[in-house]
Structure 1
Amino acid sequence: MIRSTNALRAAALAGAVALVLTACGSDDGGGSDETDASADASPLIIGTLLPQTGTLAYLGPPEIAGVELAVQEINEAGGVLGADVEVENADSSDADHAEVATQSVTDLLSKDVQVIIGAASSSVTLNVVDDITGAEVVQISPANTATSLSGYSPFYFRTAPPDTVQGAALANLITGDGHSNIGILVFNDDYGTSLRDVVKATVEEAGATVTYGNAGEEFDPAASSFSGDVTALLATSPDAIVILAFEQTKLIIPELIAAGVDPTTLYLVDGNTADYSADFEPGTLEGAQGTIPGAFPSTEFQAKLKELNPDLTDYAYAPESYDATILAALAAVKGGGTDGPTIQENLASVSGADGGTEVSTFADGVAALEAGDDIHYVGQAGTGSFNEDNDPSSASIGVYKFDASNKPVFVKGQEGEVPES
């Protein structure tokens, strides 16, 4: 289960006494001045703006667990600048319920959070990012992929790569499987159209054709039926079909299968590569493939997440959420302050943008900073350091294949560089 905000804060407050951590906040590694300054620093309060309801609610549990695990490890290592990290959880819902995220951001800002982890949906972020960054609060999304968010604001970062990486990897997977006429069912959403544009450009560069799903052929994400869209797509005789959608996928798949589409010609993405064992008859999606940005979580990392939430079945974006939290905490330690501007100024540096000693845990990062070293945090997601657009400079894209029970099984990872805008 997702733990409540009150439970998290109670745990944090209970452990926040008499832990003094010497912090190195300057590039020259000075010691006592930063230590004295940290004594006056406010506790780091991290807000989460992640989906507890709506079409992406299945992503919420692993993302929230990733944040919780990071906070647990940070506090076990002494906290940030002598105080335990506190967490305030809030629901982002989805773009069809924009008012939920707007109210959640208002609530989080009223609680003096210095960092917000989220949202999962790019469209949700585009609705609230100005309110967050305008307040000089750092926003780090573990899952946003829309290309329009690259370099959006000095206070906006993401630990997931933009669609330029996933789109290219997906397109190369499709053409590598021998397909040359690709139909795309894409919903009219910033996430969908951004990813569609990259897929289209990449497959066309490889000599393939997009038969359906070009500009002007998107479907309404709020529609109650997609039979007309499926009929229009199939009329173009594609030999592979890409589905760029969220919850709508549960209505689209039965339409395609009923029309005789071979599931091995179906390709999904991070927004819908999920466990459908409870939704479809066995074998419905067997052989279909999907992509999810990020390295596949290790067995050890999965076990730690399940200790916090035994009900976890998906792990998508848990590594990215964990890394976002660790990076924010390390940036506060390096800068000697927990305010948003200090964290913003130091995030790229602790991610490795300036080089430095490689570290993989918060505790090791703090030790290196105290020794006066620059650090390069190498996290669970396997992404590169932040570039000039505050995107990860490189990332792994996981390729998954659905088994007979309609569950996605990890097959391989594909590395990709992230171009700067």
Structure 2
Amino acid sequence: MIRTTHAVKAAALAGAVALVLTACGSDDDSGSGGDETAGGEAGPLIIGTLLPQTGTLAYLGPPEIAGVDLAVQEINEAGGVLGSDVEVIHADSSDADHAEVATQSVTDLISQDVQVIVGAASSSVTLNVVDDITGAEIVQISPANTATSLSGYSDFYFRTAPPDTVQGAALGNLITGDGHANVGILVFNDDYGTSLRDVVKTTVEDAGATVVYGNEGEEFDPAASSFATDVTALMATSPDAVVVLAFEQTKQIIPELVAAGVDPATIYMVDGNTADYSADFDPGTLEGAQGTIPGAFPSDDFQARLKEVDPALTDFAYGPESYDATVLAALAAVKGGGTDGATIQANMAAVSGADGGEECTSYADCVEMIDAGEDIQYVGQAGVGPFNEDNDPSSAFIGVYKYGADNKNVWVKAVEGSVGE
């Protein structure tokens, strides 16, 4: 069952209006401990989503929402959770510049007794609302948060995307592996941007290269209306590679870089801006540029299943991670014998394989094994390892994408990295 409330619609509309104007409870039953199988409440599992329907990351919303909806559909086709269908309530997170949207959405989701919230996509948005969510003993699972500051933030906070220690290292190694020695970074002053910048900087410097621009104190204001001054300052340091750590601002920054003489093949981007720019730039503008997106590239079969849910999908970023977040929450409820947040939280690590167990790849197969008394390791679509002690994936893949003359990014390869505990 999929629901969107009037209050959430109003919050989304408020966020959309603000964007134009600025241009830019669960019950307290403690359930079971560890990976035990008794004690929690067994009413319907209600999953809320806090994903971007408006704002600068709205392009990430459709695949993430489709991932949740597909998981709920398949869970219910397999008999639901503890005899009841899973329900899902979609709410808008917008972005950090419209924080009131996510705040209102969380308030509304809590009032509707969700036990799990999948989201947010933005680390900054999560940092604004995570205390409200986890303080209510609601399990929060982000499919896309990467800020290192969120590792181990709360026992009730998990993520199915790896922290920036993995993506940043992969990007830094990609840059130096391409032979660049003087790296300039255009980074916005945002938790996501600075966290990722710090890892990229450490990685390239450890490889013997130099970050010539974009060091601490050289960030740009994400709400700025022009980035010409920042590009001029960057170019004055003569970089042989340019990293752009930004969101929607990228649409203004790229033309500035190209006009300043930057070879697009020396431009690198990340998950926040590795998007389809075919409708935004002249042909060839980004040809040869590369970007990284955490997560294994979705199989043809999984893409087809997502498109059955949302036929308009053209981008699949974080769809696998959203799907896995939903399945893991449902499996944790089954293993713990309850749908309250505390029971789900206590069993998340176990169903991910943190304690060992036999591998299973679908909700139906995993439930069958749980019912037989077996320990499991759910191996999902995103290809991440079991949760570690910080509730981060213990390993993950980072996809490398390259742009063609049509300014569309195409998957090239995946690099696997481990997450430090």
> Please, what TM-score do these two structures have when normalized by structure 1?
0.92
| Contact kept in structure 2, 1:293 and 1:397, CA below 8 Å | yes
**Shift in Å at residue 4 of structure 1?**
5.5
CA distance in 1, matches of 2:229, 2:260: 12
**Paired residue for 1:365?**
366
CA distance in 1, matches of 2:312, 2:285: 24
CA distance in 2, matches of 1:28, 1:156: 17
CA distance in 2, matches of 1:364, 1:281: 48
SS in 1 for 2:82: coil
| Contact kept in structure 2, 1:29 and 1:369, CA below 8 Å | no
Instruction: Specify the code of the residue in structure 2 equivalent to 1:386.
Output: F
**Paired residue for 1:239?**
240
SS in 2 for 1:341: helix
**Shift in Å at residue 42 of structure 1?**
1.0
**Paired residue for 1:385?**
386
Deviations 1:267-326 (A, max 9, x none): 000000000001011111010000000000000000011111111111000000000000
SS in 2 for 1:280: coil
**Paired residue for 1:112?**
113
Deviations 1:361-392 (A, max 9, x none): 00001000001001000000000000000000
| Contact kept in structure 2, 1:26 and 1:334, CA below 8 Å | no
Instruction: Specify the code of the residue in structure 2 equivalent to 1:84.
Output: D
1:175 aligns with 2:167: no
| Contact kept in structure 2, 1:270 and 1:293, CA below 8 Å | yes
| Contact kept in structure 2, 1:28 and 1:372, CA below 8 Å | no
Instruction: Specify the code of the residue in structure 2 equivalent to 1:51.
Output: P
Alignment of 1:12-411 (within 5 A): 41-411=42-412
Q: Extract unaligned runs of 5+ from structure 1.
A: 7-24
**Shift in Å at residue 29 of structure 1?**
8.5
Q: Quote the sequence identity (%).
A: 80
Deviations 1:171-223 (A, max 9, x none): 00000000000000000000000000000001000000000000000000000
| Contact kept in structure 2, 1:29 and 1:373, CA below 8 Å | no
Instruction: Specify the code of the residue in structure 1 equivalent to 2:125.
Output: V
Distance change >3 Å, CA 386–CA 27, structure 1 → 2: closer
Instruction: Specify the code of the residue in structure 2 equivalent to 1:171.
Output: G
**Shift in Å at residue 27 of structure 1?**
8.6
CA distance in 1, matches of 2:176, 2:278: 28
**Shift in Å at residue 5 of structure 1?**
2.9
SS in 2 for 1:412: strand
Distance change >3 Å, CA 29–CA 219, structure 1 → 2: closer
**Shift in Å at residue 139 of structure 1?**
0.2
Instruction: Specify the code of the residue in structure 2 equivalent to 1:259.
Output: A
CA distance in 1, matches of 2:420, 2:319: 24
User: What is the CA RMSD across the aligned residues, in angstroms?
Assistant: 1.4
Instruction: Specify the code of the residue in structure 1 equivalent to 2:288.
Output: G
**Shift in Å at residue 28 of structure 1?**
9.5
CA distance in 1, matches of 2:354, 2:33: 16
SS in 2 for 1:70: helix
| Count of matched residue pairs | 394
CA distance in 1, matches of 2:269, 2:397: 17
Deviations 1:240-290 (A, max 9, x none): 000000000000001011111100000000000000001011111010000
| Contact kept in structure 1, 2:34 and 2:347, CA below 8 Å | no
Instruction: Specify the code of the residue in structure 1 equivalent to 2:123.
Output: S
| Contact kept in structure 1, 2:35 and 2:347, CA below 8 Å | no
Instruction: Specify the code of the residue in structure 2 equivalent to 1:194.
Output: S
Distance change >3 Å, CA 54–CA 357, structure 1 → 2: same
1:5 aligns with 2:4: yes
| Contact kept in structure 2, 1:27 and 1:374, CA below 8 Å | no
Instruction: Specify the code of the residue in structure 1 equivalent to 2:373.
Output: G
CA distance in 2, matches of 1:164, 1:375: 27
| Contact kept in structure 2, 1:122 and 1:191, CA below 8 Å | yes
**Paired residue for 1:419?**
420
SS in 1 for 2:366: helix
**Paired residue for 1:21?**
none
Distance change >3 Å, CA 28–CA 211, structure 1 → 2: closer
**Paired residue for 1:12?**
none
Instruction: Specify the code of the residue in structure 2 equivalent to 1:310.
Output: P
CA distance in 2, matches of 1:397, 1:29: 34
CA distance in 1, matches of 2:338, 2:306: 29
Distance change >3 Å, CA 152–CA 248, structure 1 → 2: same
Distance change >3 Å, CA 343–CA 29, structure 1 → 2: closer
CA distance in 1, matches of 2:3, 2:36: 38
**Shift in Å at residue 404 of structure 1?**
1.1
CA distance in 1, matches of 2:285, 2:380: 36
| Contact kept in structure 2, 1:182 and 1:240, CA below 8 Å | yes
**Shift in Å at residue 408 of structure 1?**
0.5
SS in 2 for 1:399: strand
Instruction: Specify the code of the residue in structure 2 equivalent to 1:308.
Output: V
Instruction: Specify the code of the residue in structure 1 equivalent to 2:264.
Output: P
**Paired residue for 2:13?**
none
Deviations 1:112-141 (A, max 9, x none): 000000000000000000000000000000
| Contact kept in structure 2, 1:147 and 1:164, CA below 8 Å | yes
SS in 2 for 1:372: coil
CA distance in 1, matches of 2:131, 2:283: 45
Instruction: Specify the code of the residue in structure 2 equivalent to 1:342.
Output: T
Deviations 1:67-119 (A, max 9, x none): 00000000000000000000000000000000000000000000000000000
